Structure 1
Amino acid sequence: MNDLVKTNRRRLSSSELPPPSCEGPRLRAFQYRDKPIEWMGMLDDSPEISSSSRQGYVFKVKVHSKIYALKVFKFFKPTTYRWHLGPEDGRKVSDDTLEFNTDPFYAECRAYGRLQETRRKQGLKRRDFAHCHGFLALNKKDAAYIEEDLGIELWDVPPSDEYRRRAEGSPIRAIVKEFIASDPVIDSRTLAKMIKGLGWMNKHGVLVWDIHARNYRGGILVDFGSAWTRPHCLWDALPEDQKKDVHLSDRARFQDMADDLGLEDDTRAVANIDYKMKLRPRKDKSYPR
């Protein structure tokens, strides 16, 4: 077992992630991470999501007599977004920092860590996002079920890739979330609650980025795999004149989603959003989608 695999195993056996070397919030380990998992089916088999664009796969599972949604993450190459930093900032940021800020697994750990702790401190009961119960590493039996029985490929880089060769054998990462059984149709009242919740998340340093109807269940956000939780190395590297546009990009994407749902007039009246022309996110892939 090489050093990188040992490091990844050690991290996933810890009580919180990301590790203390990463500035910012953390997520606790799942209380029952050593209990058997009963697999009850895949939840996100939508044909609109290609295998190459997936961050992971979500399953309905039972652990310790309770039903959960379990998101199993793909492996992620830490340097994927280094080019966003440019030549100067790119030399200043370590691979570990890039990984803890941009890997979808760690992105969810940091976002949930920030939002759940903030909600607890504020004593809020409003439900804007699915509750997260913590992270875990799949054992060998469950890993074999995912990769061999289901035939799921968790790597998007070829076997010859140097990072993959060093990281293969690392544990498969997963995050345990509440299972939301029903998915009511989103109407104007639900949409108003959703934009209010999104504004609260942005206010507390979480930019979601990936705003789509498929990432909500009954108006509750269930996916933070693309989130930037400040402090964040890509945010810190942005020129000051771009930070305002990026900060407002969630609301522009929310407006796009409302338009797609045929509720653009309702959400504009409720949320007073007038970003569609002024703040439309750039199409040049300057930022992760």
Structure 2
Amino acid sequence: MTSSPFRLARLPSPPVPLPRVPGPRLAPFTPSAQADIEFIEFLGRKNDKDSLVWKVTINGAGPFALKVFFFRHWDFLRENQAGDLATPLANPQLYVDYFDPFNCECRAYGRLKAEKREDLAVKAHGYILLTPQQEAGLVQRVTGRSTPPPSADAHNLDGVNFWGRHEQHRGLPVRAIVKDLAAGTGPNPAQAQGMWLDLQALHSLGIFVIDTHLGNYMGGKLVDFSRAWTTYHPALDEIYVRTFQDLLLGELQSLLDYYYELTNTSGGSIAVPEDLEALCSGHLDQYQNFPTAYDWLKWEMNADVAAAYVEQKVFKRAA
């Protein structure tokens, strides 16, 4: 007898803040998580693997930037995003809850909202779930082909489709996050100086950005948290110390490389932060703002229950 395939949890109706695990969450943009969307202009990069970004109006307001996410198989996330875990997670759903790019962004932006520090990145307003008609219309805009969402009796979904749907995603709506429309320009000297200060502040709030290359900044502000680990996060709990240090150094080095480029293109008017350069030159032990030090339980309505969930439900422990 063949067992039924694993499927991700259905999203609740009415919508709730996501993802549904202990830690920060992002609320829907509207009470129904749906809206009238006019897709105006594609803003992203053609080689983006996680999402499409469009200039839109929503319910007649805006313009906004709408980041629309592709689906990722849980096993892909386990191998490519969570490969450094010292202990595997207890079930496939958890890999999606903690490592899926949409959920990573929800958690980072949820923390910024809770801490009233939305100034540290381009502001996000909430998430939206596309209707089947909006999903099909957007595919038509991008590909020129009419590709309706799969029906309940459609053939097996193997990921070879526009949104990357596998069988585990059957029936799930396409997800998107509404953000401010950022100016697509390089930073001026004042904005550039703030990038390093912002990153340190993000770390102090338990947000490990990981991906700090120049393509993730606009006007000196981060616009992308699709790889971020935000406490509580199992990767910040069960990762080898050396691996974490290497990832942190890589994050800092990416920002430092961006500063070097800005210095060259600005004729020296944008300075490279000396302390960032020192950290990347072998003094990482002097860094103070480790994301793992953040007290995430202070936001939980029942801290004991949240702590017990992490201890008992997240990891696949040996019997």
The residue type equivalent to 2:68 in the other structure is V
Structure 1: 5+ residue stretches without partners:
281-289
* Aligned residue in 1 for 2:58: 63
Q: TM-score scaled by structure 2?
A: 0.71
Residues 81-90 or 254-263, more deviating = 81-90
User: What are the within-5 Å matches in structure 2 for residues 134-173 of structure 1?
Assistant: 134-151=126-143, 157-158=159-160, 164-173=166-175
CA distance in 1, matches of 2:178, 2:17: 14
Pair 1:200–1:146, CA change in 2 (3 A): same
* Aligned residue in 1 for 2:41: 41
Please state whether the residue corresponding to 1:183 is helix, strand or coil: coil
* Aligned residue in 1 for 2:109: 112
Per-residue deviation, residues 93-112 of structure 1 (Å, max 9, x unmatched): 32121111110000000000
CA distance in 2, matches of 1:158, 1:38: 27
Please, what is the CA RMSD of the aligned residues?
3.2
CA distance in 1, matches of 2:232, 2:70: 24
Q: Answer yes or no: is the 8 Å Cα contact 1:107–1:229 preserved in 2.
A: yes
- Would you say 1:29 and 2:28 are equivalent positions? yes
Q: Answer yes or no: is the 8 Å Cα contact 1:268–1:274 preserved in 2.
A: no
Please state whether the residue corresponding to 2:272 is helix, strand or coil: helix
Deviation at 1:3, TM superposition (A): 8.3
Pair 1:73–1:97, CA change in 2 (3 A): same
Q: Answer yes or no: is the 8 Å Cα contact 1:202–1:247 preserved in 2.
A: no
Q: Answer yes or no: is the 8 Å Cα contact 1:30–1:135 preserved in 2.
A: yes
Pair 1:40–1:78, CA change in 2 (3 A): same
* Aligned residue in 2 for 1:274: 278
* Aligned residue in 2 for 1:286: none
The residue type equivalent to 2:87 in the other structure is D
Question: Which one has the largest radius of gyration?
Answer: 2
- Would you say 1:4 and 2:2 are equivalent positions? no
Q: Answer yes or no: is the 8 Å Cα contact 1:130–1:221 preserved in 2.
A: yes
CA distance in 2, matches of 1:241, 1:3: 34
Number of positions where the alignment pairs a residue of Structure 1 with one of Structure 2: 261
Pair 1:193–1:71, CA change in 2 (3 A): same
Q: Answer yes or no: is the 8 Å Cα contact 1:194–1:219 preserved in 2.
A: yes
Per-residue deviation, residues 77-135 of structure 1 (Å, max 9, x unmatched): 12223244469612x432121111110000000000011211x2xxx5x8221111111
Deviation at 1:272, TM superposition (A): 4.6
CA distance in 1, matches of 2:37, 2:28: 15
Q: Answer yes or no: is the 8 Å Cα contact 1:38–1:63 preserved in 2.
A: yes
Deviation at 1:156, TM superposition (A): 9.5
CA distance in 2, matches of 1:13, 1:133: 18
Deviation at 1:271, TM superposition (A): 5.0
Per-residue deviation, residues 168-190 of structure 1 (Å, max 9, x unmatched): 3421111111112x334323322
Pair 1:216–1:259, CA change in 2 (3 A): same
* Aligned residue in 2 for 1:89: 87
Structure 1 vs Structure 2: percent identity of aligned residues? 25
The residue type equivalent to 1:34 in the other structure is Q
CA distance in 2, matches of 1:12, 1:150: 29
* Aligned residue in 1 for 2:256: 255
CA distance in 2, matches of 1:77, 1:12: 23
Pair 1:270–1:144, CA change in 2 (3 A): same
Deviation at 1:63, TM superposition (A): 1.0
